Amino acid sequence: MSKTLLEQLRTMTVVVADTGDIEAIQNVKPQDATTNPSLITAAAQLPQYQPIVDEVLLEAKKKLGEHASDAAVANLAFKHLAVAFGKRILAIVPGRVSTEVDARLSYDTEATLKQAREIIQQYKDQGVSKERILVKIASTWEGIKAAEILEKEGIHCNLTLLFGLHQAIACAEAGVTLISPFVGRILDWYKKSTGKDYVGAEDPGVQSVTKIYTYFKKFGYKTVVMGASFRNIGEIEELAGCDLLTISPHLLGELEAKQGDLPRKLDPEKAQQEHVEKLTIDKPTFDKMHAADAMAHDKLKEGIEGFSAALENLEKLLAARHAEIGASKETVGAH
């Protein structure tokens, strides 16, 4: 019997689940899992995860005292919710979970460092080793500089919202553990900008990750590449052999349902043979290349704004939920 595409993919690539939905992770049994503010916000609204949300809110209330406002409780709970989901996910996956620093701190190295250390401490307080955590940080110059310091402290980082080669090289030079280039969002930008559709190896997102992977393997960087944000399984097939791929449960299901041959497309030995020019990325070069790359410029900005909006939405949801819990307690107390 022929093997499914997912079975074949697992022989050459570490498969990661891109979701905050714990039930979905149980079903697909990935090695690792990644979350982001949008995914956590979505999961927090599912009825089956209400107990996790409520537990985090009550814990925050206990810390702040009876008279704390809904907004104050929500603000503290919000800082602990991603870790609460992360801990539950780690009970299922054998590997690591990625937990994201507040996207609103993306241009502030010091604030990013502070929050990254807090995330690791929260996991430590829950009995989770830092070896099982990747702190997710946006690939701004400031974020990359924060990651460089964190890696020296033994805190592993996943640099996200990565769209351009300049971002990838700066991350590798900083000794970052892992990068997440966003395949589908690159495709979205080109489709919108040219009005064309792209398939297979012509997909600009696929080309971007292939280029980054080749560069890293050619020059022997330890930083690994995890393709992210896929729009279809065709993109995944073209990146078979990438170090890791983080895939939504929906697309993992499609890969599991499909049979046929899955040839390896990315190969470290082949990358060694490629002719690639070595670049040095300092801040002026980074800024210049970022300004010249309209897609990377637009998508990084849009990604940070999108994740920031999701976080604001999550804070509002938590404040509303805390008010609900308070109201139901009062009703019970009145009877």
Contacts of 116 (CB under 8 A, 6+ apart): 101, 135, 137, 146, 150, 155, 157
pLDDT in tens, 167-179: 999 999 999 999 9
The pLDDT value given to residue 334: 59
Structure tokens at 34: 């990644």
Residue ranges of the alpha helices (H) in the chain? 5-10, 22-28, 37-44, 50-64, 70-90, 109-125, 141-152, 165-173, 183-194, 204-218, 233-238, 249-257, 268-273, 283-292, 294-334
Sorted by where each begins, the domain ranges of the chain are: 5-326
Backbone angles phi, psi at 313, to 5 degrees: -65, -45
Third-level CATH fold of 5-326: TIM Barrel (3.20.20)
Catalytically active residues, by annotation:
136
pLDDT tens for the chain, residues 1 to 335: 689 999 999 999 999 999 999 999 999 999 999 999 999 999 999 999 999 999 999 999 999 999 999 999 999 999 999 999 999 999 999 999 999 999 999 999 999 999 999 999 999 999 999 999 999 999 999 999 999 999 999 999 999 999 999 999 999 999 999 999 999 999 999 999 999 999 999 999 999 999 999 999 999 999 999 999 999 999 999 999 999 999 999 999 999 999 999 999 999 999 999 999 999 999 999 999 999 999 999 999 999 999 999 999 999 999 999 999 888 876 656 55
Burial environment of residue 249 by CB neighbours within 10 A (0 to 12, 13 to 18, 19 or more): middle
Query: Are 242 and 196 spatial neighbours (Cβ–Cβ below 8 Å)?
Result: no
Cα separation, 23 vs 38, in Å, equals 17
The C-alpha atoms of residue 215 and residue 280 are separated, in whole angstroms, by 12
